[in-house]
Amino acid sequence: MLSAHSNEKVDLLNIVSTTYARELDTPSAEPLSKFLRRFLTTELLPFEAKQVEQDVINYEPFRVAETEHADSHL
């Protein structure tokens, strides 16, 4: 989601929001769901790196113990 705005990115985010609608409605996925909605509704967003890191650190691609390059994913 933190890449340059493009039609491909919007298409992929729309697919994620449609395919995983139930999963995104769970309390544990609330930060991810919030970012997804914001990226689909606006192109320019305030970016607070520390807040984003705190919100996404619990997801598998960003966990050091489970993913080899978790630090570079962040």
User: What is the total count of domains within the chain?
Assistant: 1
pLDDT(22) > 60: yes
Tell whether 1 is covered by a domain. no
Tell whether 2 is covered by a domain. no
The pLDDT confidence band at residue 2, using thresholds 50, 70 and 90, is: low
Tell whether 39 is covered by a domain. yes
Task: Tell me if residue 43 falls in helix, strand or coil.
Answer: coil
Is-above-0.75 flag for pTM?
no
Domain residue limits at 64 = 7-73
Tell whether 60 is covered by a domain. yes
CA pair distance 45, 39, nearest whole angstrom: 8
